[in-house]
Structure 1
Amino acid sequence: MRNYHIVELDQPRDDAPGAILTAFQGVEALERDFDLARHGNDDQTDPAAAMLSQYRPSSDSEYVWLLAIAGDAPAGSTTGRFGLLVLRPDDALVPTDVVGAVNFALPLRDNRDAVQDIMMHVRPQWRRHGIGHALQTAVEQVAALRGRTVLQGYSDARASQAADALHPARGPFAIEPDEGTAFALAMGYQLAQAERHSVQDLTAYDFAAPVSPDGYRIETWTGRTPEPLRTHMAEMLRVMSMAAPAGDFHFEEEIWDAARVSAMDDEVLDAREAIVSLAIHERTGEAAGLSQLYRTIGKPAVVDQWNTVVAAGHRGHSLGLVLKQANLVRLADVWPEARRVHTWNATENDYMWAINERLGYRTENIDAGWQKRL
């Protein structure tokens, strides 16, 4: 049996992140190896510097990284905020010491019963040594300390039509019963939703300017949300929190205001760039729709489509398509190096998939969304 120990990452110092940056370099290498083996590219592997930048105190969520480190714990190791051994900036570490990792968010404003966005990776040569189980046990220890009773996470999966495929309650895709699926089920998770991961090839896209529907105007910007539009942005993010199909996931409506939008920009744009379009209903001044593109600094060719949503009272005017097209026109101007856009949608969301197909998206794979109640 190989030796390893589980640690939580201390908060890094701005002036000398030390071993915290080294740890993220190890995570970057681990995730890149997985992505290359699974997808043939590292588009979704964040650079270590971006991970470090995003691992800061936040007004929205408490972010947590737990790592499996090869070897025995050093003498004199101390515990951190969750009662686990803690890796501090001054500790000795090399990137290859990181043999497993899990990260997640503890929402602070809403959904305060949940641990969200759990993502776990273990180096192939270190699997079947109990690392996944040890990391999951640590996640549940953190959940208990913070009073969280719902665990929610994702794993890379593949669609399957086999007799033993795992079916979510909604949507047309079932999940291949692979190693990741077996692990999630063994840890007590249930398949809450299947998500379609699709990719748009920008080299084949015609960047024609969209025509806004009568009675609406489209506001498009790069970077921070303009102050006059923050309240509109907040309203659309609130709508998005409940409008997107959620399968069997338990979600509460998110609480948004202009101050939270500004704080989000402070946190997200430290490591990313943004292009955002907002639809305004001219007669009432209401926010009618939203679409967001982001790319990580240091990965100029790769863009991620985040939220696209249209308010219920303004559907039927092709606003979702127009907003996405407006973002792409701005992208061609300010991000000429961009080559691909990745997006994730619930497989039961036929409306959004119809828009994406029209824009040239093609399915890359199906991701599995998991939920466990403690």
Structure 2
Amino acid sequence: MNLTQKKKTSFRMPYRYDLIIHLCTLILAVFGLFMVASATMGLASGNVMSLMKTIIKQLAFTVLGYLGMVTMARWFTFDRMKKNITPIVSLTLVLLLLALCWEVGGARAWIKIPFPGQEITIQPSEFSKVVIIMVMATYLGDIRNLKLTTKDLMRNPLLIVGGFCFIVAILQSDFGSAIVMAGIACICFLIPYHPSLVRLQKMLVMLLIIGVVLIVWILSPMGEHLIEALPFKNYQINRFTSAMNPFADKYGTGFQLINGLVSFASGGWQGVGYGKSIQKYTNFPAANTDFILAIVVEELGIFGFLLIFICYALIVGRMFIYAIRMKSQRGRIVLIGVSMYFFIHFLFNVGGVTGLIPLTGVPLLMISAGGSSTLSVMVAVGMGQAVISQYRQGKIE
């Protein structure tokens, strides 16, 4: 193969990747671009330049995300991951700490990058979710030495994941992202088998079950008084009370959720038509980010939601199928970690927008406006595609 041929194939997906996952990712990315454009119309308030800047920025990050996905799909191997995990973790830590220098919307979770005509922000916590998957696969997957103790195995993962979550939750005040990071790490921890980990894994399963039961109880009428006793800040407590009854403060903490519910009711099955949402013009502050699903349903109806749901389900389902088939624990951790990245974001965003759970500020991946989340999740898909490609070629079992 000559140099010209190498250049032509350098940005193609690797041999024997999963075409369905690839197509679903592209559909979500393109669909997200159109919905961001529509939802931003209300926020732009007739300012065409502001609208165009948002669309161009989202398009740029989507293109970068695709290039990142292809690059990761071609570059990623377990040997390279193990060799480069220390500099990757170090860089992520530096970026997380660097974000503390700026405050955006009450949180110190973004790095501001000056750009002609518009300020661009990067959210390092999104990339840390991908790094956590790498960390769990590197330090816990395919461990052959059965004499290693629990302390030996858990030292690095606990320090790294715990450090990331502490910075994001406490220092950056981004509790939603920290929960997602911890959730991904917990699920990844349940996958590898090692005699020293079995007891901890059983305890974690019990804690997860207890946690789910407690959350359901807190959100029930019986847990209403318990919410006020929780060691949360006022705005976090308000998210619980709004989820339970948004009409208790319909012009305050419940305003956003009520607007979302009105959008759902207005959309019905077929929606009012693309670009014709009314709610996005009614001072709907997160119409193109956290609450973009409400605009999707209002304009495109339940069919618009089903398009997103089917694409998510195919991506998550197919990665689970490959994970079940392969013997490699590292491969399983990567694939299930990426699928949990999608699933947890979907669960938290849809649950928050519909009032089933408190709002967490977690975006709907590749649909919500946000360059960091789009770029990060597409790189994660590329990592999953690399594992699938290597498995289908017989390079890993």
**Which of the five TM-score ranges fits, normalised by the shorter chain?**
under 0.3
Q: TM-score, normalised by structure 2?
A: 0.22
Flag the structure with more relative contact order, 1 or 2, with Cα contacts below 8 A and sequence separation at least 6. Answer: 2
Q: TM-score, normalised by structure 1?
A: 0.23
More helix by share: 2
